[in-house]
Amino acid sequence: MTDLVRADFPVVMGVLNVTPDSFSDGGRYTDLDQAVAHGIRLHTDGAHLIDVGGESTRPGAERVDAATEIARVLPVIRALAAAGVPMSIDTTRAAVAETALAAGATIVNDVSGGLADPDMSRVVRDAGCPWVLMHWRGHSRRMTELAVYDDVVADVRAELRQRVDAALAAGVAADRLIIDPGLGFAKNADHNWQLSTRLPELLDLGLPLLFAASRKNYLGRLLAAGDGTPRPPAERDVATAATSLLAVAAGAWGVRVHDVRGTVDALAVWAATGGPRLRSREESA
């Protein structure tokens, strides 16, 4: 398989949450057959990899134990691997990552950037796999109170730099690392917009950057009805495609989205007007 970290085309990661309580697709894919069918559909729609998660990270969410997380993701990963679908495992736990990698996942997507589990760097180093380090300040239960910054972009940049340095010190190779500003994680709407607008300051860290705005609350607030009611998550896909496209045009390495088809269409328009052509999943396999 192509080394996606070095991709010279925008990488599209499709979201597959096997959870009862994720904010957008929670409860939709708890049935194994439905989850697998959805993962295959996202791949067919053009996702270069499917991001499988078994623990909700929505603000305020309570944690589940590792055994529950593994029981949710493992059958899905095994089935998608058998179907030839490339996957990342969305987890903050080393034991879950290790199990998922052994079952066929090839990338670790760690929303805690290695902070939640001190053993994660060992798992990633030994596997030699890519590792998404997201900016994170604490588990979902307390993340709203942690959204305090002097300058959100400078602070996120400095804290990501620390996570990168810690990963390198633990023996993870620099060319395995991908950074992510962590939109919505201890960030309010204004923080998210500042990060979206000032991406070049994060890109300046010299690492591939994953932009994961899909269906997030701040888009719902942007598109709120006249009475202030936020637009529901499933109706935020056009805004997601727009912000994803702007991020990729600014230099983001890839995007993490629920609506793969809409994103791929938006990227195709950009390619037709001079942007890099989106490599099809067959070409990138």
Instruction: Confirm or reject binding of residue 199 to ligand PMM (CB under 6 A).
Output: no
Q: Is 237 in the site for ligand PMM (CB under 6 A)?
A: no
CB 143 within 8 A of CB 59: yes
Minimum Å gap between C-beta 67 and ligand PMM is: 21
The residue written with tokens 């962590």 in the block is 182
Least distance in Å: CB of 56 to ligand PMM?
6
15 binds ligand PMM (CB under 6 A): yes
* Those residues with Cβ within 8 angstroms of residue 136's Cβ, 6 or more apart along the chain or in another chain: 111, 112, 113, 115, 116, 182, 185, 186
Instruction: Answer yes or no whether residue 92 interacts with ligand PMM by CB under 6 A.
Output: no
Q: Judge whether 216 counts as a catalytic residue.
A: yes
Residues in the chain, total: 285
Minimum CB distance to ligand PMM, residue 182 (Å): 6
Residue 90 interacting with ligand PMM (CB under 6 A): yes
Per DSSP, the three-state class of 234 is: helix
- Cβ atoms of 159 and 187 within 8 Å: the answer is no
Tell the smallest beta-carbon distance from residue 226 to ligand PMM (Å).
27
Q: How far apart are CA 11 and CA 96, in angstroms?
A: 24
108 is a site residue for ligand PMM (CB under 6 A): no
Restricting to residues 109-138, which ones interact with ligand PMM according to CB under 6 A? 109, 111, 132, 134
Residue placing its CB nearer to ligand PMM in the complex, 66 or 271:
66
Taking CB under 6 A as the rule, does residue 74 contact ligand PMM? no
Q: State the alpha helices, DSSP H only, in the chain.
A: 32-44, 66-82, 94-103, 120-127, 152-169, 189-197, 199-203, 217-222, 237-250, 260-272, 281-284
Choose, from 176, 256, 279, 281, the residue flagged as catalytic.
Answer: 256
Return the number of other C-beta atoms located less than 10 Å from residue 272's C-beta.
9
Whether 256 sits among the annotated catalytic residues: the reply is yes
Using CB under 6 A as the binding rule, whether residue 139 contacts ligand PMM is answered as no
Check: CB of residue 39 under 8 Å from CB of residue 10: no
Contact pattern from residue 249 through residue 268 relative to ligand PMM, giving x for each residue in contact according to CB under 6 A and a dash for the rest: -------x------------
**133 neighbors 159 (Cβ within 8 angstroms):** no
Residue 24 as a binder of ligand PMM (CB under 6 A): the answer is yes
Which of positions 200-219 make contact with ligand PMM (CB under 6 A)? 210, 212, 214
At 4, which amino acid appears?
L
Q: Which residues bind ligand PMM (CB under 6 A)?
A: 15, 17, 22-24, 53, 57-58, 90, 109, 111, 132, 134, 180, 182-183, 210, 212, 214, 256
